Amino acid sequence: MHLSSIPLVFAQMTSADDIVREAARLQRNYEFLSYGLTIAWVILVIYVLLMVSRERKLKREIASLKAMIEDRRKS
Amino acid sequence: MNDRSVWGDYILYLLGAGAILILARDINVIARLPNEAQQGAIFKIIFFHVPVAITAMMAAAVALVASVLFLVTRDFRYDALAVAVTEVGLAFLAANLITGSIWGRIIWGQWWAWDARLTSALVCWILYAAYLMLRRAVEEPTQRATFAAVWSIFSFIDVPIVIFSIKWWRTQHPQPVFWGGGSFPPDWLAVFLWNMLAMVLLAAVMTVVRLRQEDAQRELDSLRRTAHAM
């Protein structure tokens, strides 16, 4: 794999149009890279939030059932 | 809550925070790496696309082992592990499919191609989503765990197809960088491996959290039965 820096890419350009086109391509690449990374993180964060909400619901239900059983035992 | 449980929580949150810190640090490092010569900046999506895929495949393997162990021992802890790891793996596989689609849009000019790798990965996601739906459909716990274990074992058949599809058939998806003749610069490899470690760690922490929820669900079921019997 060959790596090149942005200035090197521009140095090989022949016309102003090429430079504009290459700059647009780079911009689009960065845009889509940021979409990709954002979406990957958003999916994981949504999943974590779902887990947190499920945990709260479980704890609430367990506490209410325990209280109900305790009440029934007393009465 | 006893001391052991409190310490367990601390260790768990510490590992989770560690994984997030590594990932945050890596985003900074990745942003400063030079662009790849042919694909440009979008190639850097490999630092997430591949680790989430490997993590999802590892989750599927753990689910397979847990399902087999459940069928052999009838111990519900293995069933809980299978469902926990499957759910986490599904989230990672979704991230893999979507990052791959975004990568494909730039490189191939299309969001999706029905080639062997992409299709088998999508089928894999659907199979494991069906596993979770199956669990919701069966009420009786032993029957639910048994059916789910069998389905999980059946679903795993697709995992080697996903992994080796790019070797077995000509696909639009490229050959793998690491075992397909490509090479990774050493400084890129180090970042990749750190990201890989962080993803696996994150998945492990999520699985343990989800496993605890399964324990809580069992406690809830038992309390419901007690309340019903009173």
B120 Ramachandran zone, left/alpha/beta (phi>0; psi -120 to 50): alpha
Judging contacts by C-beta atoms under 8 Å, the chain A residues touching residue B98 are 36, 39-40, 43
Which of A5, A48, A62 lies nearest to residue B216, judging by beta carbons?
A62
Total count of domains within chain A: 1
**Residue spans of alpha helices (H) in chain B:** 3-32, 46-73, 76-107, 116-137, 141-156, 158-168, 186-229
Judging contacts by C-beta atoms under 8 Å, the chain A residues touching residue B106 are 28-29, 32
Q: What is the fold of B3-229?
A: Four Helix Bundle (Hemerythrin (Met), subunit A) (1.20.120)
For B216, the closest chain A residue by CA position comes to: A58
- Provide the terminal-to-terminal Cα distance of chain B, rounded to the nearest Å: 27
Judging contacts by C-beta atoms under 8 Å, the chain B residues touching residue A2 are 37-38
In the three-class reduction of DSSP (H, G, I as helix; E, B as strand; rest coil), residue A3 is classed as: strand
Do the domain assignments include residue A1?
Answer: no
Mutate which of A1, A46, A65, A71 to disrupt the B interface (most B C-beta within 10 Å)?
A: A1
**Interface contact flag, B99 A59, Cβ < 8 Å:** no
In the three-class reduction of DSSP (H, G, I as helix; E, B as strand; rest coil), residue A22 is classed as: helix
What integer pLDDT is reported at residue B181 of this predicted model?
65
Q: Which residues pair with B36 in a beta bridge?
A: A3, B40
Token readout for B59 is: 């989750």
Do the domain assignments include residue A58?
Answer: yes
Give the contacts of B93 (CB within 8 A, at least 6 positions apart).
B52, B53, B56, B121, B124, B125, B128
- Which string of DSSP letters, residue by residue, matches B10-67? HHHHHHHHHHHHHHHHHHHHHHHSPPBTTTBGGGGGHHHHHHHHHHHHHHHHHHHHHH
State ipTM: 0.75
What integer pLDDT is reported at residue B87 of this predicted model?
95
What integer pLDDT is reported at residue A1 of this predicted model?
45
Give the contacts of B99 (CB within 8 A, at least 6 positions apart).
A36, A37, A39, A40, B45, B48, B49, B52
List, for chain A, all residue ranges whose pLDDT scores fall below the cut of 50.
1
Which of A25, A44, A58 lies nearest to residue B217, judging by beta carbons?
A58
Are A35 and B95 a contacting pair, CB within 8 Å? no
- Rounded to whole angstroms, how far apart are CA atoms B110 and B106? 7
List, for chain B, all residue ranges whose pLDDT scores fall below the cut of 70.
1-4, 179-183
What integer pLDDT is reported at residue B39 of this predicted model?
81
Backbone angles phi, psi at A3, to 5 degrees: -110, 145
Domain that holds residue A12: 6-74
**Interface contact flag, A33 B42, Cβ < 8 Å:** yes
What integer pLDDT is reported at residue B203 of this predicted model?
94
Domain ranges of chain B: 3-229
Token readout for B55 is: 């993590």
- CA distances, B129 to each of B15, B62, B94, B134, B158 (Å): 27, 16, 11, 9, 13
- CA distances, B46 to each of A19, B12, B36, B199 (Å): 26, 28, 11, 13
Residue that the structure tokens 């293995």 belong to: B78
